[in-house]
Amino acid sequence: MQLKKNTLLGNIRFYIILNIIILIGFVFNATSDENIINQYVEIQLLDKVNSQNTTLRLKIGEEKNFQNLLIKALRCSNSEFDDNPEIVAYLQVKDITLKDKDKVFIFNDWTFSSSPSLKTFDHPIYDIWLTKCED
């Protein structure tokens, strides 16, 4: 009888601890998602044909249409350890004029503000570079 009571008590404690861990995980995940949702990325776009420069401000997770491009920013962060902080963003860019279904994105990678040539955005008409990441 005593063994059965201890087993039941152990199971109850296990489920209580498991629920607390899950609840803590939801709280931390919700606060980190709120920070991401309220962030913006600012990028510069250069039209190489007519040499026109445009600034575009994107909310994280939002897709914006610019000319023939569909641009979406998924992450953005500023380094806080240097005197000259590095701005990093994860961008996805689609060319909506391309009908080739094998190549969904013309750019789908991290981009760096200090060295845009590290991960190059290769397009015959447009150049994109990262300028700001803000809350």
This prediction has a pTM of 0.64
Question: What ranges make up the beta strands (E) of 20-125?
Answer: 40-47, 52-59, 63-66, 69-78, 87-95, 107-112
Query: What is the number of other CB atoms lying within 10 angstroms of the CB of residue 131?
Result: 14
Q: Count the alpha carbons within 13 Å of 5 in the hemisphere toward its beta carbon.
A: 2
pLDDT in tens, the chain (135 residues): 555 556 766 777 777 776 567 666 655 554 444 445 568 999 998 888 988 999 999 999 999 998 888 999 999 888 776 666 678 889 998 888 877 766 678 888 888 887 766 666 777 888 888 888 887
Residue with tokens 């569909």: 70
Q: Which residues pair with 109 in a beta bridge?
A: 91
